[in-house]
Structure 1
C-alpha cells in the first residue's frame, strides 16, 4: 500500500505531503516521494477512483483547498488548482462530485464542485454556523471540525465543536448552488466538544469522539436521524489531567473501535463493539509519542499507525485481530508534524 501523510509545514517543519511504500505483511516502509511546497496540508481526502488527492491548506484567513492529480506508482502529486475557503480548514471530504471542507476558525463549511479533470470549481455554497457553548476558552464561537457523508450517501453530517451540536444536512448531489440543506441537528452534552464521527460498516451506528470531555457518544443512525444510545469516557477511572481527544476509527471487521487522547494522556483506548452497537472498554495503551492527532488502521487490519504532531514521528503498532489489543513493533517513521494518515493502492 501507499501511506500518504499530511503534515504541518509551519511550525511543524515538514516539507509538504509525504508518500511511503508500506508493506502490510511486515510493516516495512520506504519513502517514495516528498511533495514539496504545499502549505500546511493538515488533512487529506482521496477521490473514490484514487486518481486525485484533495488537501486543506490551513493558513488563517488566507486558507485554501488544493486539488492534485495523483500517480500512485511514483507517489507523486501534481497541483491542479486551489480555491479560497473559510479560515483554518481542518477536515476535507470528497465523493468525486463535490469537495467539502470543515473550517474550524471560520465556523463554517465550504462546498465546491469538481471538474472532469479533478480540479476544484469555484465555491458553490458556504454554511455559516452561529452560537457558542459553556467552555469560554474553546467555545466562544462556532468551530466546525468535521464533515462526513452518511453511508447511504443521502446526507452530510457536520460536527460543530464550538456549539456542541451535530448537524445533518440533506445532500443535493445534482444542485448547482444549494448542495446541502438543513435536515436535523442533535445537541450533545454541553462542553463536550464534538470532533470526529465515524459510521459502522452496516451504516446502523455512528461513533462520535468529544474532544473536550474525552468521551465517545454512540448513536443509532437511520435515514438522516441520529439517536443517542450511549456515552462513555476514553480515559481511565479518576483521570484528572488535560484532555484533547483527537481521532476515532473502527477496525476493518467492525469488531473494535479505537480512540486517541492527546493533552497529558497521549494514549489510545480500545473498545469492543458489542451487540446493538454499544461499546465496552478493553484497554488503554500509550501511543509512544506526544500529540497523537491522527491514526490509521491498514486495510488488512494488521497494523495501526499513530501520527504524533509534537514528537514528529509515526509509531507502528501490530493489532491482535481476536482481542483488539495493540503491540508496539518498535518501528518508527520519522516525519515532521504528521497529522493525517491515509492508505491507497500503489497502482
Structure 2
C-alpha cells in the first residue's frame, strides 16, 4: 500500500513539474497614445497549447515600447518613448514578481535624448538607442535595481539619401555574446557601429571600436547574433535587405546578402524585427508597410540563408514578434490592428501555421519571455 502511495505521489509531482515547465511569462510593452493601454502587460503562456492568459499589468506607464529584463529576472526596464520630445523620454525601472506577474514601479530617469526606442541591460548598466536624437545613452544601475543618472551620451553624425535618413537614427543596441562589445545599428547613416564595453567605467563606458557600412539607403534597423556568435544578421528597414556579417572581436565583415521582400512585391517596405529559433536552425524577419508578413529562412553553413516561406501576420504592422523558449510557437505583435497573433512553428521545416488564436491588445510593440 505504501509503495502505491509513494508511486502516485511521485507521479503527480512529475506531472505537475512538467506542466510548470511548459508555462512561461510573456511581458508585453505597448504604445498608449493612440488607444487605451495601461503600459506593460504580463501574460502566462502555455507552450503546449499556445494559450495566453492575462496575469497582471501596470498603470499609466508612458509608451514602454521596448523592454529588458535583468539576468536574475527580478527587475524589468522599459524605455519611455515620447515622440514629441521633452522630459518624458527616459528609462523606468520596475520590480518584477514572476509568480504573480506584478510590476512595481521603482524610479525613472531622463535619457537626455529624444526617442529612446531600444534598451539592453546587465548587472552594471542600462543602454538605450535613441532614434530621434541619433544617440546612445548609458545609465548606471543601483543595487536595488533602480536606474541612476546618465553616465555617457554617444552621438552619431551623418545622413543618408532616403527621406527617413535626414540625420543619424540609432535604432538598436546589442551586447556581443562575450559582453565585451556593444553593437549599434543606425538607420540614418546606413552603418553598424561597434563599441568596446567597459562596464565598470564611470564615464567612458562605450569606446569606439569600428564601423561597417550597409548598402546605401537600406536603413539598418535590428540585428541578431547566430547561436555560435560567429555571425550577425542585419535587417534593413527601408529596402528589406537581410545581410550576413562574420563577427569576431568587435569587427564585422559582410559575407552574404538576401532580401525579405518577395521578388514580385509592389508596395511599401518597412522591415521591423528579426529573431533566430531556439535551436539556431531558422531565422525569421517581419515586414510592415503593405506586406504585413514574416519571412522564414533556413540557416546554412558559413552563415548563409535559404528562403523557406513567407506568411501573413493576419494583422497590420508586425513591429515585434518572438518565439517561445520551447520553439513551438511564434507570437506576432500587430501594432496597428491591436492584437497578438499566435502561429504554430514546424521545428523541422521552419514554416508557420496560423492557430486561429489571438489576443486583443492596444498597440503591442515588444515581447519578452521569462520563467515563472
The alignment's TM-score, normalised by the length of structure 1, stands at: 0.98
Q: Following the alignment from structure 2 to structure 1, what is the Cα–Cα distance between the partners of residues 292 and 126?
A: 32
User: Is 1:223 matched with 2:228?
Assistant: no
The SS at the match of 1:237 is: coil
Deviation at 1:201? 1.0
Q: 1:188 aligns with which of 184, 200, 214?
A: 214
Give the 5 Å matches for 1:157-172.
157-172=183-198
Aligned to 2:71: 48
Aligned to 2:52: 29
Give the 5 Å matches for 1:15-164.
15-59=38-82, 60-62=85-87, 63-85=89-111, 86-135=113-162, 137-164=163-190
Deviation at 1:174? 1.3
Larger Rg: 2
Q: Following the alignment from structure 2 to structure 1, what is the Cα–Cα distance between the partners of residues 298 and 35?
A: 34
Q: What RMSD over aligned residues (CA atoms) do the two structures have, in Å?
A: 0.7
Does structure 2 retain, via aligned residues, the 8 Å contact 1:61–1:88?
no
Deviation >2 Å, runs of 4+: none
The SS at the match of 1:29 is: strand
Deviates most, 106-115 or 58-67: 58-67
Q: Following the alignment from structure 2 to structure 1, what is the Cα–Cα distance between the partners of residues 36 and 290?
A: 23
Deviation at 1:206? 0.6
User: Is 1:267 matched with 2:302?
Assistant: no
The SS at the match of 1:190 is: coil
Give the 5 Å matches for 1:200-211.
200-211=226-237
The SS at the match of 2:302 is: helix
Does structure 2 retain, via aligned residues, the 8 Å contact 1:134–1:191?
yes
User: Is 1:312 matched with 2:335?
Assistant: no
Give the 5 Å matches for 1:318-333.
318-333=344-359
Deviation at 1:89? 0.6
Q: Which runs of 5+ in 2 are unaligned?
A: 1-23
How many residue pairs were aligned?
345
The SS at the match of 1:96 is: coil
